[in-house]
Amino acid sequence: MGTSMNYRNSLKLTLTFSTIISLLVRVVPCTGNEPVVKKVGDKAELGHCNNDKAITNSVVMWEIHRGGKKPQTVFEKYPLDGGRVGIFRNDYGELLLEIKNVREADAGRYKCMTGTTGNMTIHKDIELIVQFGPKLPWESKNLTLHEGETGELWCNASGIPIPTIKWSRKSRDYNDTEMGISGNIVWIPNITRYAKDTYKCQASNEFGSDEGFINVDVSFPAELEVFEEELQGVNGVTNVEMACAVTANPMVNIVWYKGNETNPIQGNNWQYNEQTDDNMKEEYYTTLSILKIVLPLDDAHFDTYYCKAKNDSGHVIALKAINLARRP
Ligand SMILES: *[C@@H]1O[C@H](CO)[C@@H](O)[C@H](O)[C@H]1NC(C)=O
Ligand SMILES: *[C@@H]1O[C@H](CO)[C@@H](O)[C@H](O)[C@H]1NC(C)=O
Ligand SMILES: *[C@@H]1O[C@H](CO)[C@@H](O)[C@H](O)[C@H]1NC(C)=O
Ligand SMILES: *[C@@H]1O[C@H](CO)[C@@H](O)[C@H](O)[C@H]1NC(C)=O
Ligand SMILES: *[C@@H]1O[C@H](CO)[C@@H](O)[C@H](O)[C@H]1NC(C)=O
Ligand SMILES: *[C@@H]1O[C@H](CO)[C@@H](O)[C@H](O)[C@H]1NC(C)=O
Ligand SMILES: *[C@@H]1O[C@H](CO)[C@@H](O)[C@H](O)[C@H]1NC(C)=O
């Protein structure tokens, strides 16, 4: 998660900073400090952290370590962000660091030190935790997997406290059905074509929720099916039909051949009529192709017919034979 990563980074920065300080400066043990928890839009006041009047020219400095960024410093005379982050004196004469209209990016470590240049003492070391509603870095995404692979659906939402995730799938058969899976990953080992669907993940915490959609497509090689491998006819019969169903994703082209002829049968020529029915395609990736012999059967028609599946570069990737025999 991005956020926990930020914390790790800021911790790293803290360590680096402490190391440098210990080399430059007489080390004074840090006072333990409670983390401050705020939500986006709140006002945060950290401190107090007062100057030691006994030291001439002593100043108060807050050093801000926000996730992954270069540390920034704030002095009484030099606020940040046009005054959004600055040091002010409250009614009791204490100096506080005030952050108006807290933002997500304000999360980090805030250290107050006083003293003179080269001889500063750390008085406060406070972690500011900023709470906010979940956010996904995308609204929808497409994922194509090959049948048999392991599918990994990730839903990495930011948000503090860490959001809970709910998954559901949306297809015709699973009308927004909850999957009973929580956590930021859905793991689909040995994925099948029936897992093609739109999956929704919903991330929520007490400050809001966000949702994302993953369109999963599952590809698999062409499978051909003929309804009869052997047909019988007699001379003079008309409208003999042969049917071939192709199941594939992505869909392939179906081409019919007669016998060992190298040229395919052209659809809708004077002898043959070829039609495809895409009705089933959407749901089951199936296309039905029907070859109809429209002339009355004669000797030349009794032969073996081939239904071949070709991919977009014209390679035959599967075929089935149908034998049209003369009835004895
Ligand atoms: C650093 O400041 C402390 C007071 O906070 C003082 O006692 C000490 O002498 C100073 N050290 C140096 C090297 O100036
Ligand atoms: C996902 O695929 C659909 C249809 O193929 C396309 O319109 C859309 O732009 C794609 N979305 C992304 C995030 O690539
Ligand atoms: C989601 O976060 C996990 C760590 O929590 C990380 O391993 C994974 O790669 C991330 N996935 C995506 C798609 O960002
Ligand atoms: C799917 O859910 C919506 C809204 O809950 C409902 O209107 C629709 O009839 C449902 N469809 C099916 C096929 O169950
Ligand atoms: C994947 O699923 C197929 C079909 O259900 C099955 O034949 C195969 O053994 C499975 N493979 C693994 C590694 O589980
Ligand atoms: C097809 O096969 C037949 C015999 O089965 C043969 O006589 C004919 O020459 C072949 N034609 C082609 C184009 O190979
Ligand atoms: C078609 O199939 C051939 C042989 O399997 C393969 O090399 C080629 O990449 C495929 N083309 C497409 C567009 O899938």
Of all protein residues, whose CA lies closest to atom 1 belonging to ligand 5? 190
Give residue-wise pLDDT tens across range 68-122: 889 999 999 999 999 999 999 999 989 999 999 999 999 999 999 999 988 999 9
Q: Does the pTM of the predicted model rise above 0.85?
A: no
In CATH, the architecture of 227-326 is: Sandwich (2.60)
Summarised one tens digit per residue, pLDDT across range 176-222 is 778 888 899 999 999 999 898 899 999 999 999 999 999 999 999 99
Residue whose C-alpha is closest to residue 223's, from 315, 307, 114, 97: 307
Average per-residue pLDDT for the chain: 86
The Å distance, Cα 288 to ligand 3 centre, comes to 42
**Domain definitions of the chain by residue range:** 34-131, 136-220, 227-326
Coil, helix or strand at residue 292: strand
Q: Is 150 in the pocket of ligand 5 (CB under 6 A)?
A: no
> Ligand 7 in contact with 317 (CB < 6 A)?
yes
Report, in angstroms and rounded to the nearest whole number, the Rg of the chain calculated over CA atoms.
36
Residue with tokens 């799938």: 169
> How many whole angstroms separate alpha carbon 204 and alpha carbon 315?
49
In the chain, % of residues over pLDDT 90: 62
> The domain 136-220: what is its CATH number?
2.60.40.10
* CATH number belonging to the domain at 34-131, selected among 3.90.1150.10, 2.60.40.10, 3.40.50.720, 3.40.50.10440: 2.60.40.10
Q: Which ligand 2 atom lies nearest to the CA of residue 138?
A: 13
Ligand 7, from 144, 312, 315: best to mutate by most atoms within 8 Å of Cβ?
Answer: 315
DSSP state of 80: B
34-131 and 136-220, same CATH topology: yes
Q: How many residues does the chain have?
A: 328
How, if at all, do strands 36-39 and 151-154 pair?
unpaired
Residue 109 CA to ligand 3 centre (angstroms):
25
From residue 238, give the alpha-carbon distance in Å to each of 63, 91, 151, 273: 91, 103, 50, 12
Q: Is 249 in the pocket of ligand 1 (CB under 6 A)?
A: no
3 vs 212 pLDDT, higher one: 212
